[in-house]
């Protein structure tokens, strides 16, 4: 019998939720990882006879699954809980935009360090982050170990916002860095604060460099009405006429889509990030997610930012994404747990053009893996076979705090709830000082 092959990491004796094309769940499974990639996935006994890990993790009582993909995210924690109960338009005008204008590159680095630390602890391994001062975000992503797709929260009709030139410089400096873990695409903030020329130039730059676009679309009734008054068309129709939409575009929110706009999104292959908790908290409504899926649109999930959600917990997003649709359609069969998990993993990866690399546990893919601890009253008992409740536990019971271990590119970023790449206390202290300075500088109360 041949000697076991030595690899960097072997995770064994866990419930492996692969999210592979067969959506295989292995009751006593193992994942072999070497040189940042998944070498093998299978039965624990078989893999333990084939591989010897330099490090081995006993995943007994844990679910081993792909890391979550947060498809719409802003690395903003500084204004968390500030301006509660304001509607979207009032909040961005009186708090968010003035705060962004006041922030330095160091402030952006510190809020990103806090945000990325939070999501790593919650089981997110990839963020599609639209924010400001992208080189600072890239520094934070490199330090924490998160996988990040970065874009500017850019606009040309309000002062103090990022420009396409800022976004382009960041692309040239930081795209495909940190071993390919950091990517840069182009971003468009709220459509009412962007000119037609700005949107067309964004599409031109994305085409020039062969990368995607991240854009807010149809988030609120107010946005739709503003666009109709300003441009004579609702947002999706307006940007489609400018050539923006396409299979390289992630459109965030899309709460208020008309039937023709749904058809445009589907026809162009544009992806949607559904952000149900943020949409509910801001009073923006509940997206027509079932109609989007029926139209063949690829839908992923996102938290939005902490001030619009108050946390960045993708497990909470999964739960409410399902519950809201069941409630408004009075149909408990809608968006079952397996479909929600697809949205949070492989669908998000597909929207970013990364589904050949991440989003499922398959040999050859990058090792973005999380372990969820089920040895707690709320996640007990666990059943297999015809009464399996593994996936419902993940969607309807688990929270980010149940994540024990987070791995990106085969590197362990958190184990036993302890961050390994950064000093968590230092991150919190530095971000808190910077946040107080920024808020006070703008006299935001």
* Residue 138 and residue 11 share a domain: no
The string of pLDDT tens digits covering residues 6-61 is 999 999 999 999 999 999 999 999 999 999 999 999 999 999 999 999 999 999 99
Q: CB count, 10 Å around CB of 21?
A: 9
**335 in a structural domain:** yes
Supply the range of the domain harboring residue 61.
5-66+358-419
* Residue 398 and residue 311 share a domain: no
**47 in a structural domain:** yes
314, two tokens: 């993708």
Rounded Cα distance, 137 and 157, in Å: 24
Identify the CA nearest to 67 among candidates 26, 110, 38, 35. 38
**198 in a structural domain:** yes
The string of pLDDT tens digits covering residues 117-156 is 999 999 999 999 999 999 999 999 999 999 999 999 999 9
User: Can you say whether residue 45 is alpha, beta or left, with left for phi > 0 and alpha for psi between -120 and 50 degrees?
Assistant: alpha
* Residue 73 and residue 204 share a domain: yes
**445 in a structural domain:** no
Rounded Cα distance, 420 and 161, in Å: 34
Orientation angle between helical segments 337-344 and 314-329, nearest 10 degrees: 130
Q: Is the pLDDT of residue 445 over 50?
A: no
**434 in a structural domain:** no
User: Can you say whether residue 392 is alpha, beta or left, with left for phi > 0 and alpha for psi between -120 and 50 degrees?
Assistant: alpha
| SS3 at position 9 | strand
* Single residue among 351, 374, 409 that ends a domain in this structure: 351
* Residue 99 and residue 28 share a domain: no
Identify the CA nearest to 76 among candidates 50, 102, 45. 102
Q: Quick one: DSSP state of residue 178?
A: T
* Residue 204 and residue 169 share a domain: yes
* Residue 251 and residue 172 share a domain: yes
* Angle, vertex CA 185, rays to CA 264 and CA 346, nearest 5: 65
Mean pLDDT, residues 240-266 taken together: 98
The string of pLDDT tens digits covering residues 277-335 is 999 999 999 999 999 999 999 999 999 988 889 999 999 999 999 999 999 999 999 99
Q: Where are the beta strands (DSSP E) in 241-352?
A: 249-253, 271-274, 299-301
* Residue 286 and residue 192 share a domain: yes
The string of pLDDT tens digits covering residues 203-223 is 999 999 999 999 999 999 999
Distance linking the first and last C-alpha atoms of the chain: 70
445, two tokens: 């109360």
Q: Please name the residue that has the structure tokens 């001030």.
A: 307
The string of pLDDT tens digits covering residues 406-433 is 999 999 999 999 999 999 999 999 999 9
**Residue/partner pairs of 234-238 with CB below 8 Å, 24 or more apart:** 234/258, 234/261, 235/191, 236/261, 236/264, 236/265, 237/261, 237/264, 238/191, 238/196
Q: What is the CATH number of the domain that holds 364?
A: 2.30.40.10
Q: How many domains, in total, are found in the chain?
A: 2
* Residue 179 and residue 89 share a domain: yes
The string of pLDDT tens digits covering residues 56-86 is 999 999 999 999 999 999 999 888 888 777 8
* Single residue among 313, 329, 351 that ends a domain in this structure: 351
Residue environment code for 213-228, b if the CB has 16+ CB neighbours within 10 A, otherwise e: bbbbbbbbbebbebbe
H/E element holding 131? strand 124-131
285, two tokens: 């409504």
Q: Are the CB atoms for 365 and 41 separated by under 8 Å?
A: no
What's residue 444's pLDDT? 47
Rounded Cα distance, 402 and 18, in Å: 19
Q: CB count, 10 Å around CB of 152?
A: 30
Q: What is the CATH number of the domain that holds 89?
A: 3.20.20.140
Rounded Cα distance, 147 and 182, in Å: 6
* Residue 117 and residue 83 share a domain: yes
Rounded Cα distance, 100 and 328, in Å: 36
**404 in a structural domain:** yes
* Residue 382 and residue 308 share a domain: no
**443 in a structural domain:** no
Q: Is the pLDDT of residue 443 over 70?
A: no
51, two tokens: 């591989």
* Residue 207 and residue 155 share a domain: yes
Which residues are within 8 A (CB) of 143 and not within 5 positions of it... i.e. 6 or more apart?
A: 113, 421, 422
**16 in a structural domain:** yes
Alpha helices in 51-156 (DSSP H): 88-91, 97-102, 105-121, 134-144
Q: Are the CB atoms for 280 and 50 separated by under 8 Å?
A: no
Q: Please name the residue that has the structure tokens 């202290």.
A: 429
* Residue 346 and residue 329 share a domain: yes
The string of pLDDT tens digits covering residues 157-208 is 987 789 999 999 999 999 999 999 999 999 999 899 999 999 999 999 999 9
* Single residue among 296, 320, 351 that ends a domain in this structure: 351
Rounded Cα distance, 393 and 47, in Å: 26
């Amino acid at each position: 019998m041949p000697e076991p092959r030595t690899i960097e990491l072997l995770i064994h004796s866990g419930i492996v939720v692969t999210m592979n094309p067969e959506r295989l769940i292995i009751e006593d499974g193992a994942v072999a990882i070497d040189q940042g990639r998944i070498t093998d996935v299978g039965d624990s006994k078989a893999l333990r006879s084939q591989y010897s890990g330099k490090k081995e993790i006993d995943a007994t009582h844990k679910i081993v699954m792909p890391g979550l993909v947060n498809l719409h995210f802003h690395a903003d924690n500084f204004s968390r809980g500030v301006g509660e109960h304001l509607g979207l338009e009032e909040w961005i005008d009186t708090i968010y935009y003035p705060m962004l204008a006041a922030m330095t590159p160091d402030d952006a680095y510190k809020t990103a360090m806090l945000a990325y630390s939070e999501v790593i602890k919650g089981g997110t391994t990839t963020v599609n982050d639209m924010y400001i001062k992208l080189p600072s975000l890239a520094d934070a992503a490199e330090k924490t170990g998160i996988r990040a797709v970065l874009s500017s929260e850019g606009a040309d009709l309000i002062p103090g916002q990022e420009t396409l030139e800022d976004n382009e410089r960041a692309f040239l400096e930081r795209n495909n860095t940190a071993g390919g873990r950091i990517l840069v695409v182009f971003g468009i903030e709220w459509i009412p604060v962007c000119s037609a020329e700005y949107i067309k130039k964004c599409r031109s730059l994305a085409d020039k460099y062969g990368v995607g676009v991240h854009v807010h679309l149809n988030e609120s009734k107010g946005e739709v009405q503003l666009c109709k008054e300003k441009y004579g068309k609702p947002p999706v129709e307006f940007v489609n006429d400018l050539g923006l939409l396409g299979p390289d575009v992630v459109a965030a929110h899309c709460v208020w889509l008309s039937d023709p706009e749904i058809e445009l999104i589907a026809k162009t292959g544009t992806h949607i990030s559904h952000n149900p908790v943020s949409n509910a908290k801001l009073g923006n409504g509940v997206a027509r997610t079932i109609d989007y899926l029926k139209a063949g649109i690829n839908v992923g999930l996102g938290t939005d930012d902490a001030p619009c959600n108050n946390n960045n917990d993708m497990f909470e997003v999964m739960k409410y994404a399902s519950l809201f649709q069941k409630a408004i359609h009075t149909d408990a069969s809608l968006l079952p747990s397996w479909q929600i998990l697809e949205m949070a993993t492989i669908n998000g990866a597909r929207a970013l053009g990364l589904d050949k690399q991440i989003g499922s546990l398959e040999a050859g893919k990058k090792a973005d893996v999380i372990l969820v601890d089920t040895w707690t009253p709320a996640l007990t008992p666990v059943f297999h076979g015809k009464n399996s409740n593994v996936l419902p536990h993940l969607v309807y019971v688990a929270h980010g705090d149940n994540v024990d271990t987070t791995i990106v590119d085969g590197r362990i970023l958190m184990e036993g709830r302890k961050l390994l790449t950064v000093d968590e206390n230092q991150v919190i202290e530095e971000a808190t000082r910077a946040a107080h300075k920024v808020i006070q500088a703008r006299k935001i109360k």
